Structure 1
Amino acid sequence: MIVNCSEPNNGLDSSSRSVNETVNGSHHFTIRGYSLAKGMGPGKYIASDTFSIGGYEWAIYFYPDGKNPEDSSMYVSVFIALASEGTDVRALFELTLSHQSGKGKHPLHSHFDRALESGPYTLKYRGSMWGYKRFFRRTSLETSDFLKDDCLSMHCTVGVVRTRVEGPKSYSVIVPPSDMGQSLKYLLDSETGCDITFQVGEESFRAHKLILAARSPVFRAQFFGLVGNPNSDKVEIEDVEPFIFKALLQFIYSDELPSFDEIMDSTTTPSAIMMQHLLAAADRFGLDRLKQLCEVKLCEEVNAETVATTLSLAEQHRCPQLKAICLKFAATNLGVVMQSEGFRHLEESCPSLLSELLETVASVDEKPNSVSGNNKKRSGSSIFGLDLAADGVAESVNPNGRRLRRRA
């Protein structure tokens, strides 16, 4: 890129720049019956169909007996020709023969690689050509993988050089940001044109079937699928809290993560708990973007009180990154986490996760920077919490392999 800066004029600075770039395109040319083309004589060629790149027409010329008589048909020649009217057309070229053995393309000659050395090639007029008189020795070509079943295939790339000058803009049109989300949200809030009512617990919400169907594959199947009912005007939603469903609708219309402070007048429920419920609802209704937004928030807000329930949620709804964050946090804060209500729920609902937690604890303990005091603290608790003896003594194995005993 070449930048030309003009001199200051009347005390006012101005600038412009010249932008040089290529418009690239490719053409694939196959010759079937190669052996029948031999013997045409030097200077005789087979032409491809014309193809358009950068506003000009081009063609590939293949000379099976070479372009020059003095080569005595020892080489095949290949050229790319300007096939339309044009003067001083500057371009870069690449010629590639294709392996017939499935090994891919083998670039033989590329002008793109030498652009800094010699610059683009200039074609003066229609019929001007770029290429190679001695493109490939014919005996080598006919015994190579490039020729198979009497078929030869080549690939041509042309990059036409274009130059434009950019000066200061003579206009200043201010384009406002998109307000589509706000406009759709207005339809939801004002209930303009609503044609479906959702009964969620003791609350009802009105919405638009088409908008819901456009955003959620679950709603699309429910209203317009093979077994859907487009005439239904009321749907009962179970196992979802009203404020969670309201947040779900807010996202569907605005495509933004809703604020629970706006949805609920007052709440003492931790935001992590509400985000857990919203993630589950997003997964239920096929809202992948909302699900991932919730996953990000939960990764940021992981704590000892909610990590166990969040871990169970991540496993149930296939959130691998959230699961990994929770396992690492729980492993490094195991003593506190095991005292939470969520951990008891985790033991009952997802016992398989306990073995993964144990593996994570072991991997943390194996790190050279792990603190021995923390390991000792972890060793004093049973990860599995199972009574292994009838006399009221529980026994477990800590990550270091030592058996521990504690009173139940």
Structure 2
Amino acid sequence: MTSPSPSTTNSKSINESINGSHDFTIRGYSLAKGMGAGKYISSDTFTVGGYDWAIYFYPDGKNNEDNATYVSVFIALASDGTDVRALFELTLLDQSGKGKHKVHSHFDRALESGPYTLKYRGSMWGYKRFFRRVSLETSDYLKDDCLSMHCTVGVVRNRVEGPKQFTISIPPSDMGQNLKYLLETETGCDIAFRIKDETFKGHKLILAARSPVFRAQFFGLVGNPNMDEVELEDIEPSIFKAMLMFIYSDTLPDSDELSSSVSMCTSTNMIQHLLAAADRFGLDRLKQLCEAKLCEEVNADTVATTLSLADQHRCSQLKAICLKFAAANLGAVMQTEGYKYIEQTCPLLLSELLETVASVAVDERPGEGGGVLSRKRSGSSVMGLDLAAAQMPAAAESGEPYVRRLRRRL
């Protein structure tokens, strides 16, 4: 019979400070002078960390030997307590607006000397020679016979945490699943969308809450809350279905969920259309999700169409990524139908691409700061540029004639 292995327990000691602040203003400072050394003016008590505290201001100083040369300021423990450990900060406020406050902080020295220990009620922390009185009375700290101070106290507490004996597990949110169930079962649907030969049902309130376009259509100034059917054009049924699933679940649908109706050739093609739909209906989060997905799937075959899409729908990050990728792989990209489309219909976008190519060429020239970048480029990037150069013999000797040749084609 084997003996059971010894169990292991754990705990941790946590030291922390509970901080609080108090502002103390002395009006009629000149009337307080002459009350004698050791005599003070006190603030109202304030509570920090379960203890009461007060600020003591000595206009003639705390010690007789100083002969009223200095004013003294202290923070005192004003309630019962034994060995109370605390951190302190006293700030005399500059009233000129220049922000040159006089700060005496114990917090800054916490790691060097540790917190200060107050043994009993009436124990104090502060400065007997806080400020030379002559200097104080000619400074910006005194204005209209008024002084202002800010005090911060941090009471140090220690607690021990052991293993939690009881826990209650919280399941993840299922709101999206519940709303998606309403969509799938058509429970309570009050609007139908007709797209080609297919019909999709939904809930006007949910659609309006998610899309500003639907909100305006159903409940806007010129909207019709009584409509029960909408006919949509310029969108594929499969794309609208995917968009509906996102509206109700806040996640991109899986390809399996759309397999029965997807007519798109590739996943990338579908995400491109879904991005356009997201922009059309004001679904910013869906648009960003599509951007991120397309960024992951950028390749020589798809980058031109994605670039055109990003430009059309104002996707600046995706556009920048596509420009850099296309510039580094231009030889392969120029063979695609997407590039031909850009060449024929988007001269400004093609000009941006050529500017990116030119910047890449500058980066790759030795002796002009581009050596490190050139070494980091992948083999496919270099091959793409070589292929483009091979297609135009006039550009074989340098990248610049190649760029000029493409620009003339505009």
Work out whether 1:92 is the aligned partner of 2:102. no
* Match 1:291 to one of 287, 291, 295: 287
Give me the whole-angstrom Cα distance separating, in 1, the residues matched to 2:312 and 2:28. 61
Match of residue 259 from structure 2: 264
Maintained 8 Å contact 1:314/1:323? yes
CA shift at 1:263, angstroms? 1.8
Match of residue 8 from structure 2: 13
Work out whether 1:203 is the aligned partner of 2:175. no
Work out whether 1:136 is the aligned partner of 2:131. yes
Match of residue 191 from structure 1: 186
Work out whether 1:251 is the aligned partner of 2:246. yes
CA shift at 1:375, angstroms? 4.7
Give me the whole-angstrom Cα distance separating, in 2, the residues matched to 1:288 and 1:72. 72
Match of residue 305 from structure 1: 301
Task: Show structure 2 runs of 5+ residues with no match.
Answer: 365-370, 376-380
Work out whether 1:352 is the aligned partner of 2:348. yes
3-state SS of the aligned residue for 1:199? Answer: strand
Work out whether 1:121 is the aligned partner of 2:122. no
3-state SS of the aligned residue for 1:93? Answer: strand
Normalising by structure 1, we get a TM-score of 0.79
Give me the whole-angstrom Cα distance separating, in 1, the residues matched to 2:318 and 2:94. 46
* Match 1:318 to one of 314, 320, 324: 314
CA shift at 1:98, angstroms? 4.2
Match of residue 72 from structure 2: 77
Instruction: Tell me the amino acid that sits aligned with residue 400 of structure 2.
Output: N
Instruction: Tell me the amino acid that sits aligned with residue 260 of structure 1.
Output: S
Give me the whole-angstrom Cα distance separating, in 2, the residues matched to 1:407 and 1:206. 52
Work out whether 1:281 is the aligned partner of 2:277. yes
Within a 5 Å distance, the mapping from 1:40-189 to structure 2 comes to 41-100=36-95, 102-104=97-99, 106=101, 108-147=103-142, 152-189=147-184
Task: Show structure 1 runs of 5+ residues with no match.
Answer: 1-8, 383-393
Judging by fraction of residues, say which structure has more strand: 1
Maintained 8 Å contact 2:331/2:386? no
CA shift at 1:171, angstroms? 2.3
Q: Compared with structure 1, are the counterparts of its residues 359 and 75 closer, same or farther at alpha carbon in structure 2 (3 Å cutoff)? A: farther
CA shift at 1:114, angstroms? 2.0
Maintained 8 Å contact 1:62/1:78? yes
Normalising by structure 2, we get a TM-score of 0.78
3-state SS of the aligned residue for 2:400? Answer: coil
Over the residues paired in the alignment, what is the CA RMSD in angstroms? 3.7
Give me the whole-angstrom Cα distance separating, in 1, the residues matched to 2:406 and 2:319. 30
Range that drifts further, 56-65 or 251-260: 56-65
Maintained 8 Å contact 1:45/1:64? yes
Maintained 8 Å contact 2:330/2:384? no
Q: Compared with structure 1, are the counterparts of its residues 290 and 373 closer, same or farther at alpha carbon in structure 2 (3 Å cutoff)? A: closer
Maintained 8 Å contact 1:311/1:323? yes
Give me the whole-angstrom Cα distance separating, in 1, the residues matched to 2:191 and 2:100. 57
Maintained 8 Å contact 1:380/1:404? no
Match of residue 22 from structure 1: 17
Give me the whole-angstrom Cα distance separating, in 1, the residues matched to 2:406 and 2:303. 27
Give me the whole-angstrom Cα distance separating, in 2, the residues matched to 1:118 and 1:75. 26
Q: Compared with structure 1, are the counterparts of its residues 305 and 12 closer, same or farther at alpha carbon in structure 2 (3 Å cutoff)? A: closer
Maintained 8 Å contact 2:238/2:263? no
CA shift at 1:42, angstroms? 4.2
Give me the whole-angstrom Cα distance separating, in 1, the residues matched to 2:202 and 2:78. 60
Maintained 8 Å contact 1:243/1:264? no
Q: Percent of aligned positions with the same letter in both sequences?
A: 72
3-state SS of the aligned residue for 2:326? Answer: helix
Give me the whole-angstrom Cα distance separating, in 2, the residues matched to 1:104 and 1:349. 60
Q: Compared with structure 1, are the counterparts of its residues 212 and 146 closer, same or farther at alpha carbon in structure 2 (3 Å cutoff)? A: farther
Maintained 8 Å contact 1:379/1:404? no
Work out whether 1:332 is the aligned partner of 2:342. no
Q: Deviations over 1:352-389 (max 9, x none)?
A: 3333222221221122227987655435669xxxxxxx
3-state SS of the aligned residue for 1:400? Answer: helix
Match of residue 400 from structure 1: 400
Q: Compared with structure 1, are the counterparts of its residues 209 and 133 closer, same or farther at alpha carbon in structure 2 (3 Å cutoff)? A: farther
3-state SS of the aligned residue for 1:155? Answer: strand
Maintained 8 Å contact 1:95/1:109? yes
What is the aligned length? 387
Maintained 8 Å contact 1:97/1:105? no
Give me the whole-angstrom Cα distance separating, in 2, the residues matched to 1:306 and 1:145. 68
Instruction: Tell me the amino acid that sits aligned with residue 323 of structure 1.
Output: K
Q: Compared with structure 1, are the counterparts of its residues 183 and 31 closer, same or farther at alpha carbon in structure 2 (3 Å cutoff)? A: farther
Q: Compared with structure 1, are the counterparts of its residues 78 and 346 closer, same or farther at alpha carbon in structure 2 (3 Å cutoff)? A: farther
Work out whether 1:242 is the aligned partner of 2:237. yes
Give me the whole-angstrom Cα distance separating, in 2, the residues matched to 1:205 and 1:304. 36
Q: Deviations over 1:52-72 (max 9, x none)?
A: 433444444444443334333
